[in-house]
Structure 1
Amino acid sequence: MKRRLTVLGVALLAAAASILIAMQPAEAAVGLHISGTNIVEANGRTFTMRGVNHPHVWFTSQTSSFANIKALGANTVRVVLGSGKRWGPSTDVPNVISLCKQNRLICVLEVHDTTGYGEDGAAATLDEAVNYWISQKNNLVGQENYVVINIGNEPIGNNNASQWTAATTAAIQKMRTNGFQHLLMVDGPNWGQDWQYVMRDNAQTVLNADSQRNTVLSIHMYDVFNTASSITSYLNTFRTNGWPLVIGEFGWRATSSNVDDQTILAEANARGLGYIGWSWAGNNDPILDMTNNFNASQLTTWGQRIFNGTNGIKATAKEASIYSGATTPPTTTPPTTRPPTTPPTTNPPTTPPTTTPPGGRGCTATYTITNQWQDGFQADLKVTAGGAAINGWAVTWTFANGQQVSQSWNATITSSGSSVTARNVSYNGSLGAGGSTTFGFLGSWSGTNSTPSVTCTAS
């Protein structure tokens, strides 16, 4: 009986302490931070991650991947780093951050060495991961607008997953004690999938451990989440309790037993949740590669689904406002086009020019400048079949102001002087009657960036 009373007394004291912690005012956050369940920027604008995991520590020479990921529409890249326990150490953090900023991406940096601790004997502890971040502190302080620190990837395996709560709480507190003010991201146990619900059931304890109330929880969704009900049930708990969450990794339904990626995309979009797909390339299991050999013009089935799907990156991503120079939250719904860093001398047209719609076999094309900055711009083109199916298409236009194409996706683009021709690639040439597809490119301009007239020819 005495033992029971003692346990009860400890439980009551712990509950009271939890309430007191929750009532304490959070320190003012800088840069990216949590507001309710949302990630917001320093100016108060909500930022929803739409991104890609890039295995940088194993492919450090693939620095062009940052530009390619951005070109396909992403606003976030989660960069794999090593602490030196298993991989690395990654000593190129300044260059990684610079690549993110050059390409107008929010940078989620993660230590991968912690993967599966407790089950994988070679894995690092979360405390060791924090020591790595402390070693990189000089490279990270001042980057709070651009960088999220994901303390450790999938930090606990399936053995003794309950240790996650204490280890994660201690890691967060050690980060804050050492002066980090960044938005922190913490992954769940069970190799990130939290199938024993340790993160779900202890989320409030972990969030309360952050003196700045600036931590977002991250779930990794693979084969444990192979049904729509398993996905929605898990996400509903976080929504009901008002806990901030992102889907920090997920794959795709290559077979019926795999993760239901379409439900993840749809639910994330409907709920305003961020998601970061795994991964750009380089997997031992190539089914998870979004590109073939890091080639952005060779998207795999998974790459097509996440970039070009209905709820995919291209359709739903909005660039962080830190790159547009915005200083206050919008009073109305933000525009679908992202404002440039430096105002252009000409603005994109309200109604883009189109070719005359064909009555039968043929196609139309629409050219839209979707983003523009000093000396550079992004354009998207939509190709639509006429009244009959087509087997291929070619879109031509002539630049009037010396613009040049530097990089393209979903089309093969060739130039001869100011004349440009874009032809379909293998997977988007055949369109049914009235069907459409899109492609785009990055280009350079100087002085004026007028919108050209375009012509579409079907085959």
Structure 2
Amino acid sequence: MTRRRSLVGTALVALLAGSVLTAPPAAAATGFHIENGRLHEANGNEFVMRGVNHPHTWFPGETGAFADIKALGANTVRVVLSSGDRWTRDDPADVANVVSLCKENRLICVLEVHDTTGYGEQSGAATLDAAVDYWLSVRDALLGQERYVIVNIGNEPYGNTGYAAWTPDTIDAIQRLRSGGLAHTLMVDAPNWGQDWSFTMRDNAAEVFAADPDRNTVFSVHMYGVFDTAAEVRDYLGRFTGAGLPIVVGEFGHDHSDGDPDEDAILAHTRSLGVGFLGWSWSGNSGGVEYLDMAANFDAADLTPWGERIFHGPDGIGETAREATVYGGGQGDTTPPSTPGTPTAGAVAAESVTLSWAPSTDDTGVAGYDVVRLDGPAERRVASATTTSVTVGGLTAATEYTFAVYARDVAGNRSGRSEPVTVTTRPGSGGSAPCTVGYRVGNQWPGGFQAELTVRNDGSDPIEDWTLRWTFADGQRVTSLWNARVTQTGARVSVTGEPHTAVIPAGGSIGFGFLGTWTGGNTDPEDFTLDGTACAVR
């Protein structure tokens, strides 16, 4: 971690490739590998990094840090090494010792070369090509450690100059390492001092991933002043998870000279998305960023406010870390939790929806839930939660989505998939909806209610043989309906017209009403769609 600039990118937002790149990994039998955009151990167990950075190359005598970091609950440590281009070279014996310390303390090792930091802008910074030369020179210390070690090719390999070369240089580095015999999971840092304000990594990640013959590369963004709002954090991470591409937050802090990163949002969204994080840094910071120390003077008994926050605060390491199963974490329990209840949708917005479901049960305890988005037979995880409710963001306005939920226990066993729920997001503020729905509860009594709806055609052409759909957030049931026909599956309601209401004229409207039942709540629905297109609600 060095100097960064809080430059705001002006690049147009571009979607990552929509398909999940999932060729069978060559290293699947021996070490970490990527499946469906997620990092998995050799035994197939998904692994989510929860840890911190340790500046080993500058403080080689502070080897007790590994035990201290583990004792505070971390499952991963990212270790700063030097290729010798800017600092004292960490030779094969030193690398082997670092790996041994990680294994002794039951930590997954992410090893990174720091000399590449800010290449093109930072005087003396090394190229990615030089970093590859280093990794090949210490290869003997890495071979056979694929279950314990992830190779982070080069820290922040470009500053804010010349970063357009990041894509071809990164592809070349990956392919050289594969040709050199490294089958480890590789991690690649973003340019722009790691913050990718130009979206160079984001927009080229699919190409880079596909260029790895092992399909075993993880992308790492560093979140400092550029990521000072929850929306920026959510959008950036969501673009990767939504595209089925693996992403971690390889560095972040609670403050920085280039701005004030939103550490609460980083922790919350990495948790909800099931994304790994590695905070900067354990101790030893200087040059005006001493406030980023988590432990004062490498003393685990003297945590700073930043240390307390990341280890013991909400969504932090203590709450969310799970030890890698390669060290025995979670082994012995093979019974999955019960299947969660069918999710219901509430707080539907243009780009997000809140889902809730009945909890699962498990003999050893439910560790959390994974929300998946269904697209035909395919599914993609879009959020994780430790409670029975989560907000899924990064959605597109006026679009239909289908979600389901799995439960996970503390051993990593996964339940069966819940029944799905289909939700249509609200129209965006930038455009007009082709229809408007008015929904009003005219009368309500214990266990029952009467509601009236109007559907207005805001377009210039008549709408014939229409179908209006919505989802009841509280599981209400329609018992009888007039001026239209109804079918209901679970909380999902579909209404079609009678002969005298089958056509909604341009600029005109039709109306109908119904009787229904409710228990516990009677929230007005808001996710109305007409023939699959979201309507405005008044």
TM range, normalised to the smaller chain? 0.5 to 0.7
For the residues of structure 1 that align with 2:33 and 2:145, how far apart are their CA atoms? 13
Matched residue, 1:305: 309
For the residues of structure 2 that align with 1:180 and 1:330, how far apart are their CA atoms? 32
Aligned-pair CA distance for 1:136: 0.6
Match for 1:314 among 312, 315, 318?
318
The amino acid of 2:71's aligned partner reads A
The 1:331–1:115 alpha-carbon spacing in structure 2 relative to 1, beyond 3 Å, is: farther
Write out per-residue CA displacement over residues 330-365 of structure 1, whole angstroms, 9 at most, x where no aligned residue: 552695799xxxxxxxxxxxxxxxxxxxxxxxxxxx
Match for 2:174 among 172, 175, 186?
172
The 1:40–1:118 alpha-carbon spacing in structure 2 relative to 1, beyond 3 Å, is: same
Q: RMSD value over aligned CA atoms?
A: 2.5
The 1:132–1:52 alpha-carbon spacing in structure 2 relative to 1, beyond 3 Å, is: same
Matched residue, 2:90: 90
Give me the TM-score of the superposition, normalised by structure 2: 0.57
Matched residue, 2:26: 27
Aligned-pair CA distance for 1:27: 3.0
Matched residue, 2:498: none
Match for 1:127 among 113, 129, 141?
129
The 1:226–1:180 alpha-carbon spacing in structure 2 relative to 1, beyond 3 Å, is: same
Q: RCO greater where, 1 or 2, for CA within 8 Å and sep 6 or more?
A: 1
For the residues of structure 2 that align with 1:56 and 1:232, how far apart are their CA atoms? 31
Write out per-residue CA displacement over residues 207-244 of structure 1, whole angstroms, 9 at most, x where no aligned residue: 01110000000000000000111111111211221110
Aligned-pair CA distance for 1:88: 2.1
For the residues of structure 2 that align with 1:301 and 1:235, how far apart are their CA atoms? 26
Matched residue, 2:336: 332
Give me the TM-score of the superposition, normalised by structure 1: 0.67
The 1:178–1:252 alpha-carbon spacing in structure 2 relative to 1, beyond 3 Å, is: same
Stretches of structure 2 that go unaligned for 5 or more consecutive residues are 1-16, 338-361, 368-409, 411-538
For the residues of structure 2 that align with 1:161 and 1:330, how far apart are their CA atoms? 47
For the residues of structure 2 that align with 1:254 and 1:158, how far apart are their CA atoms? 17
Matched residue, 2:57: 57
Three-state SS of the structure 2 residue aligned to 1:283 is coil
Match for 1:228 among 227, 230, 235?
230
Stretches of structure 1 that go unaligned for 5 or more consecutive residues are 1-17, 339-369, 371-459
For the residues of structure 2 that align with 1:100 and 1:47, how far apart are their CA atoms? 16
Do 2:25 and 2:34's aligned partners in 1 also have CA atoms closer than 8 Å? no
Greater mean deviation of Cα atoms: 316-325 or 138-147? 316-325
Do 2:224 and 2:259's aligned partners in 1 also have CA atoms closer than 8 Å? no
The amino acid of 1:322's aligned partner reads V
| Number of matched pairs | 321
Do 2:22 and 2:215's aligned partners in 1 also have CA atoms closer than 8 Å? no
Matched residue, 1:365: none
Aligned-pair CA distance for 1:120: 1.1
Do 1:45 and 1:329's aligned partners in 2 also have CA atoms closer than 8 Å? no
Aligned-pair CA distance for 1:36: 1.1
Do 1:44 and 1:328's aligned partners in 2 also have CA atoms closer than 8 Å? no
Q: Percent identity?
A: 55
For the residues of structure 2 that align with 1:48 and 1:110, how far apart are their CA atoms? 18
User: Which has a greater percent of strand?
Assistant: 2
Greater mean deviation of Cα atoms: 201-210 or 327-336? 327-336
Do 1:32 and 1:145's aligned partners in 2 also have CA atoms closer than 8 Å? yes
The 1:56–1:28 alpha-carbon spacing in structure 2 relative to 1, beyond 3 Å, is: closer
Aligned-pair CA distance for 1:310: 1.1
User: Which has a greater percent of helix?
Assistant: 1
Trace 1:60-209 onto structure 2 (pairs within 5 A). 60-91=60-91, 92-209=94-211
Matched residue, 2:295: 291
